[in-house]
Amino acid sequence: MDVRQMFRKRVKSSLVAASLAAFVVTTAAQTPIGAPKNKYSPADDVKLGLEAAQQVEQELPVMRDPQVNGYLSAIGRRLVESIPPEFQHPEFRYSFTGVNLREINAFALPGGPMFIYRGMIEKAHNEGEVAGVMAHELSHVALRHGTAQQTKATPYAIGQIAGQIAGAIIGGRTGNIIAQGSQFGIGTYFMKFSREYEKQADLLGCRIMAAAGYDPRDMANVFKTIQQESGPGAPQWMSDHPDPGNRYAYINQEAQLLRVPPNPRRVTPEFQSVQGHLRTLTPAPSSEEVARNRNAGRNTGGGGAPGTPPSTGNIPRPDSRFTTYTEGNLFRVSVPSNWRELADTNAVTFAPDGAYGSINGSSVFTHGVEVGVSRNETHDLQTATNELIQALRQSNPRLSSPGGYDRASIGGRPGLHTVLSNISDATGGQEVIDVYTTQLSDGSLFYMLGVAPRDEYSAYSGVFRRVAGSIQFAK
Ligand SMILES: [Zn+2]
């Protein structure tokens, strides 16, 4: 950053002249930020984001309320103008849209589209908190983290990534991970940022906030608000934006290095007015309620449709003939021909009729396999697999621990296999979970979970082995 640009920024944010010297000194002490390596062009970000946004708009209850969207856009514009010049991309198309959902959540897509849940505005203590989440999201966009993450991963066509991202967002995270898989699904892989990127977004977000007239400490505060107000379990936002460690402390520390305006925007009349306006509207539904209604609407019968519990009757035995499915550019897998691919969930599930459905808004399956990819920051397969099982246990508390691992080969890569037991949410009976894992070239964990009731397992273990053996990676 050269001094001329700093000076222009200083005029723009109406800082007092007397502080120029202090400004220069403290600027030099700020934690440096560099956008990560990225093999995509900014134009790719725009294309990808717009495509994903279109799908989001079809699937999520976006608000058409001019007061809400006008308010969010005013905050958004203020923040965008305060992005440091080196991270500005003139071709980006920023937009700020409310979503009529109850949770405290927000997400931004590559190239600029941002969606802010109504619960975020309702639960915020002041405008600075709303701006804090938005500045953090905006920083991911400006640093082009979505496509940078792609750069590290398997090469995908842009159109395919758009679908994956939309799937991750729309699927949301319901209670039962084994069943829904969204926390570990392929789609989520593109939205869940590494801790390194999180810290960058926090630090750049601080800088943007201060330059836009906000107190960066409100970003630290809103993360606390999200934790406190989100009810049981880790909130979706926290799961997509994991805490790099000491988040609250380093944000406050960075704020001390920045020139925070003497009267930062906090409880503004606009903030009070928009909160008052929201109180006059019908309360927003939860994501789970919306997903349930959507799935019920798609229920075409045929047994085991999403929105109804799985059948407790007899499930047809796996066909000995197999059918091959290609999942994006990522992998191919063959499964018994009488299993269906469940496209509504965002990890890929294959199950026979009657063996899948939903209970209390969570998708569950009693027979079949789920295949997905999980972000992994450890470099050893066994530790990564243990972490996956640990995470599965959060929503499946009666899932057993692995007794040990066998070696397995998955798509020509060295893998692990272990057998766990669980109590099925759907039937209350004992079930067996076969876990197969391997690491992809970018280090992420690829997994396959085979699920069958204990008394039918002997008819399934060979099928699971055959499915795992059929997996072929694109590269
Ligand atoms: Zn983040």
Q: How confident is the model at residue 209 (pLDDT cuts 50, 70, 90)?
A: very high
As a whole number, mean pLDDT of residues 232-245 equals 80
Whether 257 has a pLDDT exceeding 80, the answer reads: yes
Cα 426 to averaged position of ligand 1 atoms, centre (Å): 34
CA 372 to ligand 1 centroid distance, Å: 22
Instruction: Average the pLDDT over 217-234 and give the result.
Output: 85
CA of 468 to the centre of ligand 1 (A): 33
Across the range 92-96, mean pLDDT stands at: 97
The residue behind tokens 């209604």 is 293
Confidence of residue 308 (pLDDT cuts 50, 70, 90): low
* Reduced 3-state DSSP string for the chain: CCHHHHHHHHHHCCCCHHHHHHHHHHHHHCCCCCCCCCCCCHHHHHHHHHHHHHHHHHHCCECCCHHHHHHHHHHHHHHHHCCCHHHCCCCCCCEEEEECCCCCCEEECCCCEEEEEHHHHHHCCCHHHHHHHHHHHHHHHHCCHHHHHHHHCCCCCHHHHHHHHHHHHHHCCCCCHHHHCHHHCCCHHHCCCCHHHHHHHHHHHHHHHHHCCCCCHHHHHHHHHHHHHCCCCCCHHHHHCCCCCCHHHHHHHHHHHCCCCCCCCCCCHHHHHHHHHHHCCCCCCCHHHHHHHHHHHCCCCCCCCCCCCCCCCCCCCCCCCEEEEEECCCEEEEEECCEEEECCCCCEEEEECCCEEEECCEEEECCEEEEEEECCCCCCHHHHHHHHHHHHHHHCCCCCCCCCCEEEEECCEEEEEEEEEEECCCCCCEEEEEEEEEECCCCCEEEEEEEEEHHHHHHCHHHHHHHHHHCEECC
Position 82 scores a pLDDT of 97
CA of 140 to the centre of ligand 1 (A): 7
* Distance from the alpha carbon of residue 195 to the mean position of ligand 1, in angstroms: 8
φ, ψ of residue 410 in degrees (nearest 5): -125, 115
Ligand 1 centroid – CA 126 distance (Å)? 20
Residue 448 has pLDDT above 90, yes or no: no
> For residue range 105-153, what is the model confidence (pLDDT) as tens digits?
999 999 999 999 999 999 999 999 999 999 999 999 999 998 887 776 6
Q: How far is Cα 336 from Cα 321, in angstroms, rounded to an integer? A: 6
What pLDDT sits at residue 240? Answer: 80
The pLDDT value given to residue 207: 97
Q: Which residue matches tokens 């459905």?
A: 357
- Quick check: 338 pLDDT over 70? yes
pLDDT at 23 over 60: no
pLDDT given for residue 186 in this prediction:
35
**Residue 24 — pLDDT band, cuts 50, 70, 90?**
very low
| Selection from 24-28, 119-123, 305-309, 461-465 with the highest mean pLDDT | 119-123
- The pLDDT tens digits of the residues spanning 405-417 come to 999 989 888 999 9
Rounded distance from Cα 136 to ligand 1 centre (Å):
6
Cα 360 to averaged position of ligand 1 atoms, centre (Å)? 29
Q: How far is the CA of 254 from the centre of ligand 1 (A)?
A: 17
What pLDDT, on the 0 to 100 scale, is given for residue 123? Answer: 95
What pLDDT, on the 0 to 100 scale, is given for residue 266? 96
- Tell me, in angstroms, the distance from the centre of ligand 1 to residue 436's CA: 30
Band of the pLDDT at 15, cuts 50, 70, 90?
A: very low
Q: How far is the CA of 173 from the centre of ligand 1 (A)?
A: 17
Give distance in angstroms: CA of 131 to centre of ligand 1: 14
- Give the distance (Å) from ligand 1 centre to CA of residue 313: 44
The percentage of the chain sitting over the pLDDT mark of 90, rounded to a whole number, equals: 39
Query: What's the mean pLDDT when you consider all of the chain?
Result: 79
Q: Are 424 and 431 in contact (CB under 8 A)?
A: yes
Tell me what the mean pLDDT of segment 336-364 comes to: 71
pLDDT at 9: 28
CA of 352 to the centre of ligand 1 (A): 38
Q: What is the CA radius of gyration of the chain?
A: 24
Ligand 1: distance of its center to the CA of 453 in Å? 39
Ligand 1: centre distance to CA 240 (Å): 7
What is the Å distance from ligand 1's center to 133 Cα?
A: 9
pLDDT over 50 (residue 38): yes
Q: Kindly tell me if the per-residue pLDDT of 177 is higher than 60.
A: no
* pLDDT interval class at 358 (50, 70, 90): low
With b for 16 or more beta-carbon neighbours within 10 A and e for fewer, the 265-284 pattern comes to beeeeebeebbeebeeeeeb
Longest dimension (CA), the chain: 80
| Ligand 1 center to 454 CA (angstroms) | 41
Cα separation, 167 vs 164, in Å, equals 5
**Separation of CA 184 and ligand 1 centre (Å):** 17
- Residue 424's pLDDT is 82
Task: For residue 301, name the pLDDT band (cuts at 50, 70, 90).
Answer: very low
| Cα 114 to averaged position of ligand 1 atoms, centre (Å) | 13
- pTM, two decimals, is 0.60
The residue among 58 and 265 whose pLDDT is bigger is 265
pLDDT of residue 311: 74
Dist. CA 323 → ligand 1 center (Å): 39
pLDDT higher than 50, residue 29: yes
Distance 135 CA to ligand 1 centre (A): 10
The predicted structure's pLDDT at residue 3: 26
**What mean pLDDT is predicted for residues 304-314?**
63
CA 193 to ligand 1 centroid distance, Å = 6
59 C-alpha to ligand 1 centroid (Å)? 23
Percent of the chain past pLDDT 70, that is, above it, reads 76
